Amino acid sequence: MSTASIKVGNKADVHYLLRVADACLILSQRLGEWCGHGPILEEDLALSNMALDLVGQARGLLTRAGQLDGQGHDEDQLAFLRDERQYFNPVLMELPNSASGNSQPGDFALTQLRNFAVATWLQLLWHELQSSSDAEVAAIAAKAVKEARYHQQHAADWVVRLGDGTDESAARMRAALALLWPYFNELFADDAVSAAAAAQGLGPQWSTLQPQWQAQMNEILAEAGLSLPKPSAYVPSGRLGIHSEHMGHLLAEMQYLQRAYPGGKW
């Protein structure tokens, strides 16, 4: 493997799969930052375990996207050798673990709220992808949907516990909700890529997942005593490769080893 950056082609199916793969990969990287820094041992384990599940899901989809792209790129090359504008995850995934931009210490409330929102979205998405026209994607989804459900359950528990907890935990949860709220819009923004994927039966249009996602969010936020912020018109464009200022820093750490030691293996 050389250190030269790689690019994927313009096929809609490849981009559609990379949007999901990169969402899993980048959130996994963020959750991995908690390893050794969790507030309690049990949650340190939980965040690392969820990061592992997510990176496993990403690996399957990256491999499949590489095959469909037809340039001979494997999961490792796609994970580590693309440049920032070639990653297609929603911006939500790359946001630091705290509003201050610091990963350590991360903000546990923000982390759990994002985990809940993303697991709810992924659980609905994987459920639909089980009937994908692509047999490999359907197989990945059948496995992943069970993992996402467990993640959702765990995060929901924390959102309620913190939102309906002490003054401090509730204030942190309110702040996290205010910060993350505008970024949720991107999960459901359709475009030509999702239209093409839906037309060929690869996966659903993003917007079709919104009603159920909103209903499940509303249920848990109500249980947590958190009121919904006003709708935001902001739609980030991470799925088009246009990221926040945080993405480059994240990639610098994530890609360091493969860039410094090309093709390095355990």
Partner 1 sequence: MNPQPSSSACGRLEAAWEVLRQIPDPEVPVISLWELGIVRDLRETAGGLEVVLTPTYSGCPATELIQDDVRAALARFGTVEVILQRAPAWTTDWISEAGREKLRAYGIAPPGRVLDSGAQPIRLVHRASLSKLACPRCGSANTEKLSAFGSTACKALYRCLACREPFEYFKPI
Give residues in contact with partner 1 (CB under 8 A): 41-42, 45-46, 49-57, 59-60, 127, 135-136, 138-140, 142-144, 146-147, 149-150, 152-154, 156-157, 160-161, 216, 219-220, 223
- Cβ closest to partner 1, residue 84 vs residue 136: 136
Determine contact, residues 81/6, Cβ cutoff 8 Å.
yes
User: Minimum distance from CB of 194 to partner 1 (Å)?
Assistant: 22
- CA 127-129-133 angle, to 5 degrees, is 145
User: Minimum distance from CB of 239 to partner 1 (Å)?
Assistant: 22
Q: How many whole angstroms separate alpha carbon 266 and alpha carbon 256?
A: 15
User: Minimum distance from CB of 39 to partner 1 (Å)?
Assistant: 13
If we measure between CA atoms, which residue out of 254, 98, 118 comes closest to residue 183? 118
User: Minimum distance from CB of 105 to partner 1 (Å)?
Assistant: 20
- Cβ closest to partner 1, residue 111 vs residue 241: 111
Helix (H, G, I), strand (E, B) or coil at 264: coil
- Cβ closest to partner 1, residue 150 vs residue 181: 150
Determine contact, residues 119/148, Cβ cutoff 8 Å.
yes
- Cβ closest to partner 1, residue 14 vs residue 220: 220
Determine contact, residues 143/129, Cβ cutoff 8 Å.
no
